[in-house]
Amino acid sequence: MVRIGYTMMTEQAGPRELVSHVVGAERAGFDFSVISDHSFPWLESQGHAPYAWSVLGAAAQATSRIPLMTYVTCPTFRYHPAVVAQKAATMQILSEGRFRLGLGSGEHLNEHIVGAGWPAAHVRLEKLEEAADIIRRMFTGENVSHHGAHFDVENARLWDLPDEPPPIGIAVSGPRSCELAGRYGDLVIATEPKRELLELFDAHGGAGKPRVGQLPVCYDTDRDAAVARAHDQFRWALGGWKVNSELPGPAGFEQASQHTWPEDVAGSIPCGDDVDAFVEAVRPYAEAGFSEVALVQIGGDMQELFLEWAEAKLLPALRNL
């Protein structure tokens, strides 16, 4: 049975609302939760970008059961890997063992703010590998000094360690990231239901480890309203990873998606309140071998209604996958 998760999407709601939403997701019976880690929204119509780690700390105190996870944090530009290790260890303590650290190579949209440039994809993956190694070493509690190709760490140590370190997830989109995930990850993260990604992950040491996907959905009793909202706030998602990782700001996503029409979005994102359509959208992930799928309800002001509907109708139907 695929575990179904809830996404706190920082691009579409403020910090207090996000905490309230994850409390509602726990109450509704979602199996886990994830949170995006952005400094910018994809489109200005989304309108938010609070600091994910403050939201996570508040969520850890406001909930008691639901697991929490970054989906995903880039530990190589805005954040130094030694700082990410400290944040993650503290979150694991605050949540009493409910935290997982999802890592990725980042998007220009978020990482440009520190003025460090945006190198080629292979360099970003080199940096991610080096960062993952530093974080793993710091989770042991040892004093860490490191002078590598991309990072320096001088006599760093985590003084507050959880009983068990947070599991590390690595986001993948191609062969090189799958190799990295297999070697450094306790789980794999992907946003498309591609079986070949999981097979590559397994080939490099990932066999038997959790694999977590994500799917945008747009619930509304008025399907036309759902399609309009999905187009307004989520049409950027149809651009694909190679485009989405490179654009530097919302204006770029506006330009890149100007010829994406509502019917295009409706063909990729389940919209409305037809439970069967939502189940069929999740099914490819189950068939590809994903063990977990986090849903993204589009529209910050539609979370409470979505959670009520999910508890009553959607989650019971998804339990049969």
Number of CB atoms found within 10 A of residue 34's CB: 27
Q: Residue ranges of the alpha helices (H) in 67-161?
A: 81-94, 108-111, 121-138
Annotated catalytic residue, options 11, 21, 26, 38? 38
Closest alpha carbon to 296 in 52, 66, 9: 9
34 DSSP β-pair partners: 7
- Closest to 35 in 3D by CA, of 106, 83, 99, 111: 99
The rounded distance, in Å, linking the Cα atoms of 94 and 80 is: 21
38 is catalytic: yes
The answer to whether residues 121 and 245 touch, using CB atoms and an 8 Å cutoff, is: yes
Q: How many Å from the N-terminal Cα to the C-terminal Cα in the chain? A: 6
Q: Which residues pair with 153 in a beta bridge?
A: 146
3 state SS of 226: helix
Beta-strand pair 144-147/152-156: antiparallel
CB contact at 8 A, 180 and 170: yes
Assign residue 272 a region (left: φ > 0; alpha: ψ between -120 and 50; beta: otherwise). left
Question: Residues 17, 26, 107, 179: which is the catalytic one?
Answer: 107
Distance from chain centroid for Cα 89: 18
Residue 115 DSSP SS3: coil
17 is catalytic: no
Q: Are 212 and 291 in contact (CB under 8 A)?
A: yes
Q: How far is CA 5 from the centre of its chain?
A: 11
CA 309 to each of CA 20, 274, 301: distance values in angstroms, whole numbers, following the listed order: 17, 11, 14
The residues annotated with a catalytic role in the active site are 38, 107
